[in-house]
Amino acid sequence: MTNAADRSGVPPRTYLDTASGEPLHPAARDVLMAALDRGWADPRRLHSPGRDARLVLDNARAVVAECLGVRPDEVSFTASGTDAVHRGVLGLLAARPERGSRVVMTAVEHSAVAHAAAWARGADHADRPESPVEVAVDRHGRVAPDEVVRAAGQPGVGAVAVQSANHEVGTVQPVAEVAAALAGSGVPLFVDACASMGRLPLPAGWSTAAGSAHKWGGPAGVGVLLVRKGTRWTTPFPLDDRVDERVAGFENVPAALAAAAALRAVLADGEAVASRQAALVDRLRAGVGAVPDVEVVGDPVDRLPHLLTFSCLYVDGEALVEGLSRRGYAVASGSACTASTLEPSRVLAAMGALTHGNVRVSLGRDATEAEVDGFLAALPEVVAGIRADAGL
């Protein structure tokens, strides 16, 4: 998303961080404005405004279900993607406490999964806290299904968590293979699909799954929790008297409908957009790889179509982000969830990749070759300037 340069010579602003949040889709904006006039009431109430709001909420649920290929009664709207992750993981553990509260997860899961897994152990077993069982990944960030199954056989394991695609490097995980290997074990599978929902088909085999609307162009503050019909799931938090027992609080009905509209819109032209984005990322990969002492990470083929991460030797990530920002390019650095604390990326560390001087570039649906070429022209100059300032 680019704005033309003004007369002061300020460079155009190019937003290359859609993995953190996609700009609101035009379809979502139009629906949101209309839904504000009809979906403002409490959908639990029986009066006319309440029934209108309930119809809007049910419509949103039906659209999301159709888009994802699931049942409407498997869809719930939460306050955020993080909330959906927490409920998806912890609800599986709460439903079967006799199995234990340990979570097997890949070493590159989002921090929301790691925090939920750690919280479950701390809350239920304060006298003998145990860490979640982390399964190592290869240099591309992919887990081996047999390793997940082996870990799931340990005592006290109540759930397995495998993301559909990595939020930092884009690598797609073999979720369907993991699910098939777990079949018959009795251990349920949670899938964090926040990074991929709206971009890739929902993988098969999940017991619960989570998505985040602002990652596909819906409003912020709308998460999607999927609970497979027949899955043993119990709310892990205090009960509420809502229409949907899986969530708590007053649903943001207009935002839920806008999220559904955005999801339908992005899927309508998803293949064309993904193909164009993948070609642009290939262009980025080649150009970035030509910069001296730069490591491009993640699977080069089996990945999210819009995302690329690389690390620069002898360069501070914060300085790199600031330097690129001054050139007009908004990118992310560090862990997608801990960059504000300046902590090294646990994802890159698990992959054995360089954890400092890293940049994540994620393209919008309207990204152009000119934007990519401009970024590739600015990057070597910014990197060289930082290294020169450091005396290298």
Q: What confidence score (pLDDT) does residue 9 get?
A: 46
Query: Could you tell me how many residues make up the chain?
Result: 392
Distance CA 157, CA 160 (A): 8
Q: What confidence score (pLDDT) does residue 316 get?
A: 87
Distance CA 210, CA 197 (A): 9
Distance CA 160, CA 267 (A): 28
Q: Mark out the alpha helices in the chain (DSSP H runs).
A: 26-35, 48-68, 81-95, 111-124, 145-152, 175-182, 253-268, 270-289, 317-326, 346-351, 369-389
Q: What does 150-216 look like in DSSP terms, one character per residue? A: HHHTSTTEEEEE--SB-TTT-BBP-HHHHHHHHTTS---EEEE-TTTBTTBPPPS--SEEEEEGGGT
Q: Tell me, yes or no, if 312 is annotated catalytic.
A: no
- In the sheet that 223-227 helps form, which strands lie side by side, from edge to edge? 75-78, 223-227, 208-212, 189-192, 157-161, 102-106, 133-135
CA distances from 73 to 58, 76, 243, 390 (A): 10, 8, 12, 57
CA distances from 224 to 18, 60, 180, 301 (A): 18, 11, 24, 28
Distance CA 392, CA 389 (A): 7
327: Cα within 13 Å, side-chain hemisphere: 20
Across the chain, which has 392 residues, the per-10-residue mean pLDDT values are: 45 86 95 93 92 96 98 97 97 94 96 93 53 92 96 95 97 97 94 97 97 97 97 91 82 96 97 97 96 94 97 90 94 60 80 90 96 96 91 72
Distance CA 90, CA 31 (A): 33
Q: Cβ(314)–Cβ(303) under 8 Å?
A: no
Find the catalytic residue in 67, 194, 312, 337: 337
Long-range contacts of 127-131 (CB under 8 A, 24+ apart): 130/102, 130/156
- In this structure, which amino acid lies at residue 77? F
Cβ-proximal residues to 339 (8 Å cutoff; 6+ apart), any chain:
332, 333
- Short-list 160, 203, 190, CA closest to 88: 190
Characterize 303-315 residue by residue with b for buried, 16 or more Cβ atoms within 10 angstroms of its Cβ, and e for exposed: bbbbbbbbbbeeb
Q: What confidence score (pLDDT) does residue 203 get?
A: 96
Burial grade of 48 (CB within 10 A; 0-12, 13-18, 19 or more): exposed
Look up the pTM and report it.
0.92
Distance CA 340, CA 334 (A): 9
Q: What confidence score (pLDDT) does residue 12 get?
A: 54
For the chain, which domains are there? Answer: 14-24+270-389 (3.90.1150.10), 26-267 (3.40.640.10)
- 8-state DSSP, 265: H
Take residue 151 and report the two structure tokens written for it: 């870990």
Going by their DSSP bridges, the two strands 307-312 and 294-297 should be labelled as: antiparallel
